[in-house]
Structure 1
């Protein structure tokens, strides 16, 4: 299943029926009952109409996904409206800021399997909704280790994404790959998918050696840039190595450090010497990795209470403020629990 999100800019009420029908059909294709697809309609209608009424438009991202054996639809809703000061208050059924019945966000919360919202006054709002095939499906508790979410978007107008990511969970730790095929479109997509396949198959544990492994297997492609970050639980360390402009940053409380990759193109020319950055691995750290589809001059500390939010909310908040719109865009956020 493709892990990229479809995206629509919502700036006119006439788009609502089209988007609602498209997501309704997706729900039926995933095996949702007609009743569950109808509940999905209500959620989409509330999200999109709120964008028009309160934010003068915004953006809706959605995709089909499978998690814990459940078919699901994930939705992010982003806007740059006036925002809210009291999120918990507006989540209650019956609350209205426009003298209506006030069933909006409360109904979204009730009908979805997961609903999260983050907002700041005069900044706007990001919302995350997960709609599982079974309305009563209970999501598993978050396990210790890496709790992550990623958002990948195609270059506007393209049908495939030239970015890619994958997380490999191992008994002794985990490995993260984020890559960006040169350019965009089919050739970039082919390059990054070859790299993801090589990453999955690699038996190496050292990031530098994993990148060399990938380099040897994508030489007939357009080439790509990528970063690999690994954790060994027993050593309590991160090892990070990158070639090209994948931005990688680790927050440890309010302090953060960006890890500079090497110059080069995987599949074409990489440095003879590759050394890993070694960093202590600690609880409550946040790792953020993204392609150059996002600007790099951002700081989580500029957003109130963002460190308390889930990886998906953090990723969507950064995406909302920093997407360039001139390339594929991927952002992966992980929190160490």
Structure 2
């Protein structure tokens, strides 16, 4: 994932250029490149015109259906009281024809907008062979925002996902420090994680502890989610935070002190059970712990990428790498 700051008109063109470069990497043809160019141009222009500046996040992936480029547009402007009304062509709160949001929706294969008065606007959209949003489909949907700190191209935060029987296992990693050294530790952790097969979360961290001895080390959490059993197993060392919410219950996950690769103690696994649909948020210390979903009316019902994007926008620490991952299940 990459970010493009949008504070002046020239950065609209930069966002478009970066998006089209990603599109070429995943095999987009001329028609889909044209649609993507419209989406990014309109999203970045809206950030300038209505939001007073913000940023565009871009990511690309190859899937069985074909390539996809996802676009997230974030601003902290005045927001919108009625998103559906603002989607209609000709409706504008600033100088302009009022066709931007409508064009984004028409040219995207998926599009979601979250905006509240006084809380800015977030748009999650994209052009892809599949119309599904990032993080789905399936009984468990997972999506995340992961970016290096401003001014760096390599970050120490990272995450990975793999299937394990009827469950899904997720790795979250924060390499110590920043830049190349932190990134080396996280790359090693991700490679080790993918090689661990059916190992339990505690066993994965114990293995990574050996693999990371020649690196700076990292804070690591391994999360196994079994949606059918409504059970989550978590092992964590270092400053990876988590919140598990299901039905009327809400629990903060616990991590042990230490650094994987250097001074991790005996690894403990903790189990968390939930009722009803699951919503879980995990993040590195690049995100302030002061966030609260209750601040955002209706946000908890949105797709995982939208939740992750809004939390990143409002609670990221500018001088740190940033990682926030959101997991959700559908209503039973």
Identify the residue that residue 294 of structure 1 maps to in structure 2: 287
Cα distance in 1 for partners of 2:240, 2:272 equals 18
Identify the residue that residue 163 of structure 1 maps to in structure 2: 157
Identify the residue that residue 205 of structure 1 maps to in structure 2: 199
Cα distance in 2 for partners of 1:19, 1:71 equals 19
| Residues 68-77 or 274-283, more deviating | 274-283
TM-fit CA distance, 1:235: 4.7
C-alpha contact 2:139 2:227 (8 A) present in aligned 1: no
Task: Flag as ranges the 4+ runs of structure 1 deviating above 6 A.
Answer: none
Query: How many residues get paired?
Result: 329
TM-fit CA distance, 1:103: 1.8
- Is residue 2:208 matched to residue 1:219? no
Question: Residues 49-64 of structure 1 correspond to what in structure 2 (within 5 A)?
Answer: 49-64=45-60
TM-fit CA distance, 1:18: 2.6
TM-fit CA distance, 1:325: 1.1
Identify the residue that residue 132 of structure 2 maps to in structure 1: 139
C-alpha contact 2:305 2:326 (8 A) present in aligned 1: yes
Identify the residue that residue 306 of structure 1 maps to in structure 2: 299
Report the TM-score, using the length of structure 2 for normalisation. Answer: 0.93
Identify the residue that residue 11 of structure 1 maps to in structure 2: 7
TM-fit CA distance, 1:126: 0.7
- Is residue 2:312 matched to residue 1:316? no
Could you tell me which runs of 5 or more consecutive residues in structure 2 were left unpaired when the two chains were aligned: none
C-alpha contact 1:249 1:259 (8 A) present in aligned 2: yes
TM-fit CA distance, 1:241: 1.4
Could you tell me which runs of 5 or more consecutive residues in structure 1 were left unpaired when the two chains were aligned: none
Cα distance in 1 for partners of 2:298, 2:20 equals 34
Cα distance in 2 for partners of 1:246, 1:303 equals 23
SS of the counterpart of 1:82? Answer: coil
Cα distance in 2 for partners of 1:22, 1:318 equals 24
Deviations along 1:140-182, one digit per CA (max 9) or x if unpaired, are 9954421111111012222222111111112321111101000
Deviations along 1:25-54, one digit per CA (max 9) or x if unpaired, are 332343222232222221111111111111
- Is residue 2:77 matched to residue 1:81? yes
Question: Residues 1-337 of structure 1 correspond to what in structure 2 (within 5 A)?
Answer: 5-98=1-94, 100-132=96-128, 134=129, 137-139=130-132, 142-232=136-226, 235-253=229-247, 255-272=249-266, 274-337=267-330
C-alpha contact 2:136 2:142 (8 A) present in aligned 1: no
C-alpha contact 2:49 2:94 (8 A) present in aligned 1: no
C-alpha contact 2:164 2:198 (8 A) present in aligned 1: no
Task: Check 1:58–1:235 CA distance in 2 against 1; reply closer, same or farther (3 A cut).
Answer: closer
Deviations along 1:180-232, one digit per CA (max 9) or x if unpaired, are 00011111111111111111111453222221111121111110011111134
SS of the counterpart of 1:169? Answer: strand
TM-fit CA distance, 1:255: 4.1
Cα distance in 2 for partners of 1:138, 1:203 equals 31
Deviations along 1:93-131, one digit per CA (max 9) or x if unpaired, are 343334643321111111111111101101101111111
